[in-house]
Amino acid sequence: MSEGKEKTYDVEKLLKNKLKTVSVGALESGIAKVISDLVGEDYKCTISEVKYTLFSGADFHIKVELTYNPEE
């Protein structure tokens, strides 16, 4: 940073964790779609152990698996 200029943070915004408003199902679907699009195969995603953190973050366990379709 340049001298004399301090960066200011909106503490109120940081403390409002917007991730809490997103459903785990929506996150699972979104992650599965991105991975499926990147790899070219159908994948499913399972999220567990969600712990929301201070300053708008989240820690969670994620499992990504190839969807088995015997008809293909």
Check pLDDT > 60 for residue 1. Answer: no
pLDDT at residue 2, rounded to an integer: 55
pLDDT at residue 30, rounded to an integer: 97
Q: How many domains does the chain have?
A: 1
Asked if residue 31 belongs to a domain, the reply is: yes
Domain range for 15: 11-66
pLDDT at residue 9, rounded to an integer: 79
Which has more pLDDT, 59 or 70? 59
| DSSP letter string, 1-65 | --TT------HHHHHS-GGGGS-HHHHHHHHHHHHHHHHTS-EEEEEEEEEEETTTEEEEEEEEE
- pLDDT, tens digit (0-9, with 9 covering 90-100), for 12-64: 777 788 888 899 999 999 999 999 999 999 999 999 999 998 778 899 999 99
Asked if residue 21 belongs to a domain, the reply is: yes
